[in-house]
Chain A
Amino acid sequence: MNAVVKQSLNEDAAIRPFKINVPDSDLADLRRRILAARLPESEAVPGLARGLRLATIHELARYWAADYDWRKVEAKLNSYPQFITAIDGLDIHFIHVRSRHENALPLIVTHGWPGSIIEQLKIIEPLVDPTAHGGSAADAFDVVIPSRPGNGFSGKPTTTGWDCTRIARAWDVLMKRLGYSRYVAQGGDWGALITEQMGALAPPGLLGIHTNLPSAVPAEVLGALASHIPPPGLDAEERRAFDRIDSFFTNGLSYAWQMAGHTHALYGIADSPLGLATWLLDNELWNQQLIVRAFDDEPESLTRDDLLDNITLYWLTDTAISAAGLYRENKLPFFAPMGVATPVAVSVFPDETFQLPRSWAERAYPRLTHYNKASAGGHFAAWEQPKILADELRVAFQRFRDPRDC
């Protein structure tokens, strides 16, 4: 990874090809640390541990040290064209796969926390090669998947200021630098905030955005959360969304508050692989049963390799703390509309933190072009249900392929 850091000092618009090749000694060191990990000697106190059970952590540790093969995902990543380019003083790493179809629509997809580009790998082929994945040539996308500042193979900010707005500006620079004068953007989790910031900035050429975690909760609903009493007049769907958000804010946000308050209290997640793994997995963003089944080797949408690919990427790039920095940088309230001016497409996934009612989407987005309730999937929709998300993107962005619509 040293090459990345050194080259970044002479900033220009150069786009440098990039390959991953982690030294064997790093992988041996990781295994040694997992095997030497101090785990609690007894099962977590029943009723106190609402997250991962100790048995799952033990199986994760065993599999990670004994069977997991980083080289597989490294080869997968290296099978796609990857690049690094300096934008606004920081090296930005990205995957860039062009479709062979001439009129493909350029799309930039942004990952969230606790994720990385690993979240998006499964959607690349259906998007760039639709004819091999149940679509037509008219469904093709040219796909750009950047690593967020501080995450993966992108540079780590050494000063403050890399918030969602700055990242949104950088993404527009990136797309224009790649020669795309007309493009669309997509994201979930932090990727959704960054994408909505792009929508709010509305740079020329950004045709529209797609989000699967919309910032579209009405002010009176957000205002009522402090009291836990829903505002009057909510229908059943709105009421359910209120309850989900209320529960998330009440019980689920401590990981976010810790990172927003003091990232640098979490030295344990930089120094301990198991500390990192549990910090990334044991929070309310996850369907914990999905993780348990993955490590029981009964994968439904995510496998143990999926989960460990992402965690191992954090570990090998030593980005546990730098990736957490966005929580501190962010000053936007979660889920509050931010005045997106571009067309917006929304997909609602049943196991997401909350399910945005259409009524709220219509209020938040004056140019709502698509709203659909997907049949399966949670917070990590692209990763869990790549086919469904790819289908959503095809439908949602269809209208931007017709020049009369743009």
Chain B
Amino acid sequence: MSAVAQSMSMDSGAIRPFQVNFPEARLVDLRKRVNATVWPDKETVSDESEGIQLAVIQKLAKYWANEYDWRRCEAQINAVPNFITEIDGLDIHFIHVRSKHENALPIVITHGWPGSIVEQMKLIEPLTNPTAHGGTPADAFHVVIPSMAGYGFSGKPTAPGWDTVRMARAWTVLMKRLGYSKFVAQGGDWGSLVSEQMALQAPPELLGIHINLPFAVPPAILQALPSHQAPPGLDADEKYAFERIDFFLVHGLTYALQMANHPQTLYGIADSPIGLAAWFLEHDLLSYQLIARSFDGVPEGLTRDDILDNITLTWLTNTAISGARLYRENKLPFFVPLGVKIPVAVSAFPDELYAVPKKWAEQTYPKLIYYNKVEKGGHFAAWEQPKLFTEELRAGFRTLRG
């Protein structure tokens, strides 16, 4: 990582190639810490209502210490072109893969929390090389995948202010610096908010965005949430979405409140690999259940390696706390429409925190160019269902291609 440290002296505007290569001692230290974990007692219930079950996290620990191979993940990252460039005073790391198809559409894809560029790795091939993955040259994208500020190999902000608005501005700078005069943006989780902020800023180069966690809950629904009573007149899709949001706000938000209030208090996730892993598995119930099944030997969308690639990347870069600070930076209430006016494509995945009904998407986005309910997938859609996700991006952006 010394390459990152050198960046301080680099000129703004330079784009430097980057490769990942952690010293072996760091991997030995990680395994040693996982093996030396001090465990709490088993939860007092037989389900996940107290959080991450001891049996699940102990299976993860066993696999992590004994079988998991970080060098495989490192080789996968290094197999695609990685770069670092300084924007607005901060080093921004990104993957940049150009398609061989000349008229490919440039796209910047933003990960979320608890994620990293690892979430998007599976999209690179089908998006840049569509003819080898069931598409035509007209489906090709030039793909840019940045690490958010404070995440992965990007720099860690040393002063407040790196919220999603600032990141959105930086992403536009990045795309223009790469020579793209027309491009689109995509995201889920925080990546959704960064992409919607880009759309709100509406630089002329940005043709449209695709979102898989839209900020598109109508005011009447938001007002009804504190009472937990759905307003009258909702159709089945809306009622289900209401229940899912209500569940998330009531049962699923404590990690976000902690990071929004005192991110720096979570020294335990910086100092304990298992502390970090459990904190990441905490994100939402359906994702946790999917991950738990994966460690039980029934992988669906995410394998054990997928999960540990992301956690190990965060551990090795020591970005647990710097990543958490985004919750504190953010001042926007979750899911509240921002007022995006440019073209928006929406994919609603069934196991997302909530699957946005078409009616709400139409109310929120005056230029809704695409809406689809996808058959399978959850909060980490790009990571879980890359094939379906790729098809969504191809279809979602089709009308924006020259």
- Asked, given contacts A40-B321, A45-B160, A318-B38, whether A266 binds B264 with beta carbons under 8 Å apart, the answer is no
Residues of A within 8 A of B328 (CB): 48
B274 and A267 contacting across the interface, CB-CB below 8 Å = yes
In the complex, which of the residues B159, B251, B265, B271 contacts A255, with contact meaning CB atoms closer than 8 Å? Answer: B265
A71-103 CB contact bits vs B (8 Å, 1 = yes)?
Answer: 000000000000000000000000000000000
A73 to chain B, nearest CB (A): 21
Residues of A within 8 A of B11 (CB): none
In the complex, which of the residues B38, B39, B50, B325 contacts A263, with contact meaning CB atoms closer than 8 Å? Answer: B50
Complex Cα distance A232/B401, Å? 60
Complex Cα distance A277/B261, Å? 18
Number of chain A interface residues as a range: 35 or more
Complex Cα distance A282/B223, Å? 33
In the complex, which of the residues A265, A318, A321 contacts B282, with contact meaning CB atoms closer than 8 Å? Answer: A265
A158 and B42 contacting across the interface, CB-CB below 8 Å = yes
A279 and B270 contacting across the interface, CB-CB below 8 Å = no
Does A289 make an interface contact (CB < 8 A)? no
B264 and A282 contacting across the interface, CB-CB below 8 Å = yes
B265 and A278 contacting across the interface, CB-CB below 8 Å = yes
Smallest Cβ-Cβ distance to B157: which chain A residue? A45
Complex Cα distance A279/B274, Å? 16
Residues of B within 8 A of A41 (CB): 318
A265 and B268 contacting across the interface, CB-CB below 8 Å = no
A282 and B265 contacting across the interface, CB-CB below 8 Å = yes
B158 to chain A, nearest CB (A): 6
Does A342 make an interface contact (CB < 8 A)? no
- Asked, given contacts A261-B251, A261-B254, A282-B265, whether A270 binds B40 with beta carbons under 8 Å apart, the answer is yes
Does A38 make an interface contact (CB < 8 A)? yes
Residues of B within 8 A of A257 (CB): 253-254, 257-258
Does A20 make an interface contact (CB < 8 A)? no
Does A271 make an interface contact (CB < 8 A)? yes
B144 to chain A, nearest CB (A): 27
A40 and B270 contacting across the interface, CB-CB below 8 Å = yes
Residues of A within 8 A of B57 (CB): 267
B241 to chain A, nearest CB (A): 22
A313-331 CB contact bits vs B (8 Å, 1 = yes)?
Answer: 0000010111001001000
Q: Determine, out of A9-17, A49-57, A133-141, A184-192, the stretch whose residues face the partner at the interface.
A: A49-57
Does B113 make an interface contact (CB < 8 A)? no
In the complex, which of the residues B41, B258, B264, B267 contacts A156, with contact meaning CB atoms closer than 8 Å? Answer: B41
Main secondary structure of the interface of B (DSSP, over half): helix
A271 and B274 contacting across the interface, CB-CB below 8 Å = yes
Residues of A within 8 A of B263 (CB): 48
- Asked, given contacts A45-B157, A282-B262, A282-B264, whether A264 binds B40 with beta carbons under 8 Å apart, the answer is yes
Does B9 make an interface contact (CB < 8 A)? no
In the complex, which of the residues B51, B53, B258, B271 contacts A39, with contact meaning CB atoms closer than 8 Å? Answer: B271
Residues of B within 8 A of A45 (CB): 157-160, 264, 325
- Asked, given contacts A42-B158, A46-B159, whether A263 binds B51 with beta carbons under 8 Å apart, the answer is yes
Complex Cα distance A260/B250, Å? 11
Residues of A within 8 A of B63 (CB): none
Smallest Cβ-Cβ distance to A260: which chain B residue? B254
A32-67 CB contact bits vs B (8 Å, 1 = yes)?
Answer: 010011111110111111111000010000000000
A262 and B254 contacting across the interface, CB-CB below 8 Å = yes
Does B21 make an interface contact (CB < 8 A)? no
Does A258 make an interface contact (CB < 8 A)? yes
B254 and A38 contacting across the interface, CB-CB below 8 Å = no
B44 and A325 contacting across the interface, CB-CB below 8 Å = yes
Could you tell me which residues of chain B, from 267 to 289, have a CB within 8 Å of some CB in chain A? 267-272, 274-279, 281-282
A-B contact pairs, 20 of them (CB 8 A): A37-B267, A37-B271, A51-B265, A157-B44, A255-B262, A258-B255, A262-B282, A263-B43, A264-B43, A264-B52, A268-B274, A268-B279, A270-B38, A271-B38, A272-B272, A275-B269, A275-B271, A318-B38, A318-B39, A320-B40
Interface residues in chain B, defined as those with a beta carbon under 8 Å from any beta carbon in chain A: 33, 36-45, 50-54, 57, 156-160, 226, 251, 253-255, 257-258, 260-272, 274-279, 281-282, 318, 321, 325, 328-329
Q: A265-B255, A275-B268 are in contact. List 11 more A-B contacts (CB 8 A).
A: A39-B271, A45-B157, A46-B159, A48-B325, A51-B265, A264-B52, A265-B51, A267-B279, A270-B275, A271-B39, A279-B267
